[in-house]
Amino acid sequence: MALVVSLEKEEERSVRSAHPTCIPCKYMVGEFDGKKVLQLNTYGSSEREIPDKLSQTLQFDEHAALQLYRMLKSEFGFKE
């Protein structure tokens, strides 16, 4: 588990292809010490030894969540 506190665009490398493994991701929102946290949990694919086992967790504080929101709007052209 890790708390993401900032997002930066990777300028020196590029995405070569989409990864072939598809996995589920669930999100939760909680409050700790009076601050909201977004948590993304990914789970093992059906090919894993233990499918559906919690695999990776990322937490975003409010600042990083706002950066993520703005990045998604910009990169995907989402409109409100």
Residue 51 lies in a domain: yes
Question: How many domains is the chain built from?
Answer: 1
Percent of the chain with pLDDT strictly greater than 90:
61
Which pTM was predicted? 0.82
What pLDDT does 50 receive? 84
pLDDT digits (tens, 9 = 90+) for 53-65: 999 999 999 999 9
Residue 15 lies in a domain: no
Domain housing 71: 22-80
Distance of CA 9 to the CA centre of its chain: 14
SS3 51: coil
Q: Looking at residue 47, which CATH number applies to its domain?
A: 2.30.31
Residue 16 lies in a domain: no
